Structure 1
């Protein structure tokens, strides 16, 4: 079977070269000018709207589906949660290459003419493949600006942020992908909808003085949110305070003794359906918190002040807005911190 891979890659390269040559005639009826983007330090040039796009992370997948692009997608991969509400039918139309991270060969088997990812690591060393490998085959690649603008991904872990992330990076991704596929109007409509939801979610919430902690995954060496990623967007929008806003790491691993010392008013808990870490679901996380000798005495645990979020709502995606809405709803239900 491996002997067939070079032929597959060569065929993909030949097809991509023919497509680029054919659409280079800007005088052809219905032709559009190529789209050129500055993306995470690279210039990405897409000659014509993709017809067989592959999304390697759930975040980019849900943006594409929200833009009505299911019929232009050849595959998706790397899921942490069920698809966003309202996108179930569109998602069912798109082949799932893998629930987790796929191999480079499986992605090539889908015959992609465009590849997008939510994280630099997905298209970096140790990921699915580097951007160079795809681009050598004539396949343009795109990475979410939210994972590279103002962020250093060179070290271990999930990177560090020099500056706080804002929703503008997510809106930029929406607009970039809309431009790539030639559906700019849909992109503007989606951004306007997200902005309205953000404004509505925080219109009657004042969480000043309320402290939050965000737990994404793992009970042994838990990943807690630092100051400046997607949880930071949620925290700032509500006027609250993250008890670990003194670290610029995206998701530092912090011991439970330190967590208990910070004693947040509210615990925002990731409710994931994947199975790559310990305590992925909210049910398992809560069971751990209420039984562990260090954490069970925390004020938020004793009062059961839990807000459950999908993993995608804790990543910088269109579902970060969902995170703002749900944390706001939780704070309204809990009332002011005592």
Structure 2
């Protein structure tokens, strides 16, 4: 594949030859003008659109400058990929990673992903992204980015821009809280990076309206049931801490997280605290092995949990991985959880309207 500089030279050779008076048959002024126009258009098509002036965003507490509008994008993890496609940017996606078969994919976006290369089912592959001529990566800390592995700094060394999921910034920077608004923040920033604010505006407003409607419906709520979020683990439970998206979902749904004293997003808890803090509900994050039912069966069979209120009353609520992590479905699952926890309140669940998804138009 020739470089862009080589392509530009080839495109301008006919024009240069004409201007230099090369030995060839004379052409009319009309043909000459047509050649100039054709070559100018071809050169313009090779030039990526630039932000003028350069776009500067706060990313994990630091200013990040974006000069060009990305054209060849790779996303990592299912929730992040859903966010990107929710903005109608499927024609910019050249590949994805971090979505093993055990993670549920929204049926609305699966047809698009079926036509794209899965660059890696687990960790990020820098080699695969470079080979795909990627110019932008959307991921997060522990959602692909890892110290000692692929980082935004490493990508920058290869001329690849990036954006970091806001919720994940707790891994590298302190913050006050996590909220459903974080999803709207990320979507708004991406819309600016990709210069699609007009088309993305109604999408983001859809989530904001649903979030505000839920807040209004929960305004009269007095009680906050205690909830334990069970992600995985048998000897030591992996749960959601103060800065994980489930915390924001529980806050919006009128519930309290029994592990909100852990200043992280997806930390390890312990069974002793689960017993002592006596959750009234258990949220199961459904992905991997065992299945959601397998996780419930494990908890029900664990003798030391027998007197926990949620176990005695069989009060479980299931979220998929993409619902429990930041994404366009976060507010929907908060509405469903609120309805389950507070059946006396009239809580509605909004249908999520996806854009018409386009297949990637970027050349392989």
**Fold shared, TM-score > 0.5 on shorter chain:** yes
2:238 aligned to which of 217, 223, 242: 223
1:182 matched to 2:195: yes
RMSD: 3.2
Kindly indicate whether structure 1 or structure 2 has the higher relative contact order, using CA contacts under 8 Å at least 6 residues apart.
Answer: 2
1:17/1:291 CA distance change after superposition, 3 Å: farther
Contact 1:114 1:140 (8 Å CA) reproduced: yes
TM-score by length of 1: 0.79
* SS of equivalent to 1:176: helix
Matches of 1:252 and 1:31 in 2, distance apart? Answer: 40
* 1:84 paired residue number: 106
* 2:148 paired residue number: 126
* 1:99 paired residue number: 121
Deviation at 1:54, TM superposition (A): 0.6
1:18/1:43 CA distance change after superposition, 3 Å: farther
Unaligned runs of 5+ in 2: 9-39, 346-364
1:114/1:126 CA distance change after superposition, 3 Å: same
Matches of 1:64 and 1:145 in 2, distance apart? Answer: 14
Contact 1:16 1:113 (8 Å CA) reproduced: no
Matches of 2:322 and 2:5 in 1, distance apart? Answer: 33
Matches of 1:29 and 1:228 in 2, distance apart? Answer: 37
Contact 1:123 1:131 (8 Å CA) reproduced: yes
1:37 matched to 2:57: yes
* 1:271 paired residue number: 286
- 1:1-338 matches, within 5 Å, as 33=52, 34-79=54-99, 81-119=103-141, 122-127=144-149, 129-148=150-169, 151-153=170-172, 162-205=175-218, 206=221, 208-272=223-287, 274=288, 279=290, 281-332=291-342
Deviation at 1:312, TM superposition (A): 2.3
Contact 1:268 1:327 (8 Å CA) reproduced: no
1:322/1:96 CA distance change after superposition, 3 Å: farther
* SS of equivalent to 1:94: coil
Report which of the two structures shows the higher radius of gyration computed on alpha carbons.
Answer: 2
Contact 1:35 1:47 (8 Å CA) reproduced: yes
Matches of 1:207 and 1:96 in 2, distance apart? Answer: 47
TM-score by length of 2: 0.74
Unaligned runs of 5+ in 1: 1-7, 155-160
1:244/1:207 CA distance change after superposition, 3 Å: farther
Contact 1:44 1:140 (8 Å CA) reproduced: no
1:31/1:240 CA distance change after superposition, 3 Å: closer
Matches of 2:124 and 2:175 in 1, distance apart? Answer: 31
* SS of equivalent to 2:235: coil
**How many aligned residue pairs are there?**
305
Spell out, residue by residue over 1:92-151, the C-alpha distance to the aligned partner (whole angstroms, 9 max, x if none): 333221221132212222210111103267334233x12222112211111112222xx3
Deviation at 1:152, TM superposition (A): 4.6
1:207/1:327 CA distance change after superposition, 3 Å: farther
Spell out, residue by residue over 1:182-225, the C-alpha distance to the aligned partner (whole angstroms, 9 max, x if none): 11123321221111222344554426231111111222211122
* SS of equivalent to 1:213: strand
Matches of 1:106 and 1:186 in 2, distance apart? Answer: 30
